[in-house]
Amino acid sequence: MLRRALSLLVLLVLAAGGFALWQGHRFLTVPPESPGREVTIRVDQGMSFEQITGLLHKEGLITDPLGFKLLAKYTKQDGRLKAGEYLLNTGYTPQKVLDQLVSGQAILYRVSVPEGLTMRQIARLTEQAGLGSAESFDKAARDKELLAKYAIPAASAEGFLFPETYLFTRKPGNDARQVVEAMLAQFAKNAAKVWPNGAPEGKALFEAVILASIVEKETGQSGERGKIAGVFANRMSKKMLLQTDPTIIYGLGEKFDGNLKRAHLDDPKNLYNTYQHPGLPPGPICNPGLEALKAAASPEVHDYLYFVARNDGTHQFSKSLDEHNAAVVKYQLRKGK
């Protein structure tokens, strides 16, 4: 009788062990769902492994929280999970889910910033890309410590936010600081291309960026940028007003409705009105690209003092006011008629 009981007990133990092995094999090799479905989860900085496991179970990405913990502990991955936003699939095995979270290959979000946008416009683009609020972008772009870190000689990052296509992971808290910092770092990288022997500092750098921002807004033709920079350099050397419309428009800000009026040109209250105030405006009027920066750093040497749009994307350059007035009649006034 005792022998039969022991035999039965052994069978039960073997059966339980076999079942456990089968369950373990099934857990490791059979995904929660087939076919699987995509699930986006976010692992925030500071989340415990217990919290992450609970989130994965809740979203249907694992079927056995205890089994997942044991797997992570056995593979020594339990302390290596990285924060970020991940695109996972319920068709993944537990090991693949674990590998994804350890790899740190989080979802990347793209934001493309073209040349010539203002800080306010870039802040809106960043918000639209889901990479932080426009308010947090503006705050970071005026942060004195961040500006000092990148040697920005201004009260804001306007003009120093380098136009480029960027990829970011989303950060918790809807904070766009990482975007601002990446753009400032990219400016520093490209400044080395503009000034191989070292970028100017302080006021000299600030004024170069201001001039580059005006050049950027005046033409989209790469072949004209150096020539237009030369026109502004010539006018400043002769103490002439710059008289450039884009500076006025920047100074008007949100009040500008697309129609530049004579009253705007005559208004001395607009500090960016280069028809009224001599020299460069108080700050950059947009964020220029590499070619505009190069043009401002090395303006073309010539005798031109004026230019007017030909209405085909290019400009007519003139050395005297009489030549310029004739060009205005030819390309602008006749067009108006």
Angstrom distance (rounded) from CA 272 to CA 135: 24
Read off the pLDDT of residues 96-135 as tens digits, 9 standing for 90 and up.
888 888 888 888 899 999 999 999 999 999 999 999 999 9
Cβ-contact 39, 89 below 8 angstroms: yes
Q: 13-22, 159-168, 288-297: which has the minimum mean pLDDT?
A: 13-22
Instruction: Give this prediction's pTM.
Output: 0.82
Q: Is 134 helix (H, G, I), strand (E, B) or coil?
A: helix
Q: Report the 10 Å Cβ neighbour count for 202.
A: 9
Structure tokens at 163: 């136009």
Structure tokens at 44: 């925030």
Angstrom distance (rounded) from CA 36 to CA 34: 5
For the purposes of burial, counting CB atoms within 10 Å of the CB of 257, is it exposed (0-12), middle (13-18) or buried (19 or more)? exposed
Q: Which candidate, 185, 215, 239, 224, places its Cα nearest to that of 297?
A: 215
| CATH architecture type of domain 32-107 | 2-Layer Sandwich (3.30)
Cβ-contact 179, 168 below 8 angstroms: yes
Work out the average pLDDT over 251-257. Answer: 90
Domain boundaries, the chain: 32-107, 109-194, 220-302
